[in-house]
Structure 1
Amino acid sequence: MTVAELTVEVLAEKLLTQFDSKKFVEWAVSALQLGCESEHLFVLAGLDGEPTEEREKYFWKSVQDLDIEVARTEGELNYCYALMIADKAIKKEIGIDYAFSEMLKIVYASDYEHRYLPFLILMKTWII
């Protein structure tokens, strides 16, 4: 997984779920393991006991330091995350049940945007 994919994942999780800001710290550790380096990234990796605001501040500084392009709107983030989930499901890197549960989160977060509705329909027919 690339640092850009990790970034999409953590931002999607922040958007779609009850988010624990320790995920920013985990993101930093993963980015370091991938060979990324920046002063802010090193600081973020050590912010286990700090408040959310501090972690988020260093997360965004790290994203900027690493020159990672991120989705600018919730709609763009939903779309990027949906593509990533679909790609992982096709490659069998994640299970189909997990992929559908993530796609349903996107359906709800997007306020039932038409491009994601087929996943809701598929899920309803799959359950019945």
Structure 2
Amino acid sequence: MTFVALFSGAVWGVPTWGTWWMWDARLTSMLILLFLYLGVIALRGAFSSRDSGSRAASVLAMVGVINIPIIKYSVEWWYTLHQPASFTITGRSAMPMEMWAPLLIMVLGFYCFFIALTLMRTRSEILRRETNKRWVQELVEEVK
């Protein structure tokens, strides 16, 4: 999703700014986030032991969390190409109702999608870790 956001922003940026890339604070912090994600993926696969790789990747992920507030507040801390937030929960929105209502519906839909994927991934990870347990084998037999 981070790559898609950076790529689609670059495609949108060509007619708007006349260039594919601008070293903007938000763009640069998003690029760092993409590199952190790629680092976590690479680090997980770099170890022969799955648990060691997961531990190392989780440490990098915890360090990378520092980048999240930087991305969020980059447009407020530095003068950049990106405008400040048009939609806030605490204040009056600068966007008309025709625009923010669909935005809110899509955000809620994306949260539901994220929760569903997280639950499915958690279930499969529990089943993978408990493969040799009796309750998992009984569950597999029921499904067959």
TM-score between both structures, scaled by the size of structure 2: 0.30
TM-score between both structures, scaled by the size of structure 1: 0.33
